[in-house]
Chains A and B, each alone.
Chain A
Amino acid sequence: MDSWKDNKLAFGVLLGPPTFWLVVFFTLPLAIVWVYSFGERGPQGQTILALSLANYERAVEWIHLGIIWKSVWIAAVTTALCVIMGFPLAMGIAFAPRRWRNPLLLIVILPFWTNLLIRTYAWIAVLRTRGYINFTLEWFHDKLDRLFTLVGLPEIMGTFSPLELLYNQTAVIIGLVYIHLPFMMLPIYASMEKLDRSYLEASLDLGAGQWRTLFSVTVPLVMPGIASGLLMTYILSLGTFLTPNLLGGTDSMMIGNLIAQEFGPSRDWAFGSALSFLLLYATFIILWARATFARRGAASELGI
C-alpha cells in the first residue's frame, strides 16, 4: 500500500468529503451544543451565551443522576437480553446451509426497513389491554372455561383480567430489545461467518466437548464482533427516547426523555446541552481510563 505522502492528491480527494461531512455535521454542531451548555435561559426560552457552570451544577443533582442511573440500568438489561438472544441467532444463521443464509438474514433485516415509529406503535397494538396478546390469552381462558364447565366445575377459572403489559418498564425493555436485536446480531454474524471452521474441528478432535469448544474457542475468536454489537446496542439504547415515550407509562423517564423535554417544552437549551455533555464527559473519562490502563498493562508486559 502506498504511503499517503506519495499521492497527496488522491488522499485529499478521498478524505475530503467524509472529513467535510464529519466537521460540518458532527464536530461543529457538537461544539455549538458545548458552547450552549455554558449559557443561560432567557425569560422566553432564548439561549443567552454566557460562561456559567450553573447548568452543570443543576445536571449533577441527585434527581438527574437518578434518571441517568435508570437509563444505564435499562440499557444494560437490554444489552444483556440482546446478546443472549442475538448470539444463538447469529450462530444459527452462520452455521446454516449456504442457500438458507441469505433468506434468514433477510428475515432479520426486513423489519429494519420499516420506520422505527411504526414498529413501536405496532408493539402498542400487541401489548395493550385490548391487544393481541390479551386477545389470545382471553381465547384460551374462554376455551378452558368451557371445558371446565362441561366437566362440572363452572366457576374454577373465574373472570379473565387482562395482563398489564404496556405502560411500564417491561414494555420499554421489550421494545428496546426488539429494535436493537439486529444491531447485536449482525456484527456477531459478520465475525462468525469469517470464522475458520478448522479451529473448531481441531478443538473437537483434541477432545473438547461442544460447550467447551463454544466458550473456549468460538467466543474468543468472534469477540471483536461481540464487542462491536455490545457497544452499539448499549450506546443506542442509552440514548433512546422514543420507546420510553410511547411504551413507558409514568415511571420510565430515561435521560433521552429528559434531554428532549429540555430542548422541547421547557425551552431550556442550555440545561439540555449540559445534560447531553455530562454523558459525553463520562464516556470520555471511561475511555481515557481504559486507554491508560491498557498502556500501563502493555508497558508492564514489556518489562518497563
Chain B
Amino acid sequence: MNMFKGAGSSRRNFLAGTGAAAVALGFGGRSASASGELNVYNWDTYIGETTLATFTEATGVKVQYDLFANNEELFAKLKAGNPGYDIIFPSDYMVETMIAIDMLVAIDHSKIPNMKHIDPDPNFSDPSFNPGLKFGVPFMWGTQGVGYRISKVDGVPDSWGDILASDKYAGRIALLEDVRAMIGFSLKYLGFPMNSVDPDEIAQARDLLIKNKKNFKTFAPDSGQDLLLSGEVDLAVEWNGDIVQVMEEDDDLAYVVPKEGGMVWMDNMCIPKGAPNPGNAHAFLDHVLDPVVNAEIANTIHYPTANLSARKLVLPEDLANPAIYPPPETLARCEQIVDVGDAARLYDEAWTAIKAA
C-alpha cells in the first residue's frame, strides 16, 4: 500500500480539482444562459420550416425547441414548476385553466407592435377565455370534424348519426381519444350543448356511445389521419389540419364538419410564470405575428391563422379549401370547449364507463 501513497494523494488532488472545475463550469454555464436564449414548448408539426431560423437571424437569440402531445401533458409539466420554458402553446380551455391558477405572465402589448395584424373579430382579439389578449396572443385555430374516404362511404357523411349512432360503417370508424370531444359530439347529436354540465344529458351521451361501441374500431390519439391514409378505417374523427395534411397525399380523402355541429378551437402563444427570458419571449411573439412569418407557418402546416394580414399571403388553394377555412355557416354550428370545473368528474366517469363497457 505504501508504494502507492504518492499516486493516491495526487489522485485525490486530481479528483478535488476536477470537482471544483465542474462546479465553476456549472455556475458559468447558468449565467451564460440568461441572455440570448429562448425555450419554446410546442405541439408537433406546428411551426414553419424557416420560423426559428429567421428569428435567430433577426435577433441573434438561440432557440431551444421542445414538443408535447396534448394540453394535459403541457399542464402537468408546468404545474410541477416551470422547468425553464419561455413560450408555450396552450389551447383555449387550457389558457382559461392556467389563468385561473395564475400560471401565465401578462404580456406587454407595447413590446409586440405586430399585434395590430391580429384579426379584429372578437373571437380572436377579445376571446372569452383571454379577455383583451392579456395573457397571450392567438396562433392558429381550426375545427374538429370527420375525415373520410370518398370511395368507401355513401355520399357525404354529414351527420354525427352516421358515425355515432348507425351500423352503416360498422368496424370502419376511428374516434378521437379525447373525452370532451367525443362526449361533446355525442351531446351535439342529441341536441344538447357541447359544454353541458347536466348529469342526465351527459348520461344520455354516454349511453349512446356505449350502445354503438361495437361499430368503432379504435380510439385514436391524434393518429386518426394515419389510419385513414393506410386504409385501416374509412372514417376518422380528427382535427381539420391533420386531415388536410393526408389529403395532400391521397385524393380519395375528404373532410366534413357534420350538420349537428363540430368543435372550433384556438391555440395561443403564452408566456408561463417563471420564464427565464421574458424579453426574448416578447420578441418571439412579435416575430411570429409578423404577416410574412405567420403566412409561411400557415402554408407549411395548413391550419387557418388568426392573423388577418398573414391571410393575404396564404396560398390561394388553402384559402379556398373549406376544410381549412370553413364558411361562416359551418362555423356558426361549431362550439368551443370550455373548462367545466368540478363537472369534469361527470365527463371523466362517463368516459371510463364507455371505455370499460
**A interface residue numbers (CB < 8 A to B):** 41, 43-46, 63-64, 66-67, 70, 128-130, 164, 166-167, 245, 248-251, 253, 257-258, 261-268
Contacts and interface: CB of A to CB of B under 8 A. Distances in A.
Given A45-B97, A164-B171, A265-B179, A250 B217 contact: yes
Nearest to A257: B355
Interface of B: 70, 72-73, 75-76, 79, 97, 100-101, 171, 178-179, 213, 216-219, 221, 230-232, 339, 341-342, 344-345, 348, 351-353, 355-357
B216 A250 contact: yes
B149 to A, nearest CB: 13
A50 B239 CA distance: 39
Nearest to B221: A245
Contacts of A41: 342, 345
A107 B101 CA distance: 52
A43 B341 contact: yes
A128 B230 contact: yes
B356 A44 contact: no
Contacts of B351: 261, 266
Contacts of B230: 128, 130
B231 A250 contact: no
Given A264-B72, A265-B72, A267-B75, A67 B356 contact: yes
Contacts of A245: 221
A70 B79 CA distance: 33
Prevailing SS type, chain A contact patch: loop
A267 B101 CA distance: 14
A264 B356 contact: no
Given A63-B356, A128-B232, A266-B344, A46 B218 contact: no
Contacts of B178: 265
Contacts of B217: 167, 249-250
Contacts of A164: 171
Nearest to B341: A43
B179 A266 contact: yes
B76 A268 contact: no
A52 to B, nearest CB: 14
B231 A130 contact: yes
Contact of A250 (B75, B101, B344, B355): B355
Nearest to A43: B341
A45 B339 CA distance: 10
B345 A45 contact: no
Nearest to A128: B232
A197 B113 CA distance: 83
Contacts of B73: 264
19 contacts: A43-B100, A44-B339, A46-B101, A63-B356, A64-B352, A70-B356, A128-B230, A164-B171, A167-B218, A248-B218, A250-B213, A261-B348, A263-B76, A265-B72, A265-B179, A266-B348, A266-B351, A267-B72, A268-B345
B68 to A, nearest CB: 12
Given A43-B341, A250-B213, A261 B101 contact: no
Nearest to B347: A266
Identify the 7 closest CB pairs spanning chains A and B, nearest first.
A43-B341, A266-B348, A253-B355, A167-B218, A249-B218, A44-B97, A265-B72
Residue among B73, B179, B232 with max Cβ neighbours from chain A (10 Å)? B232
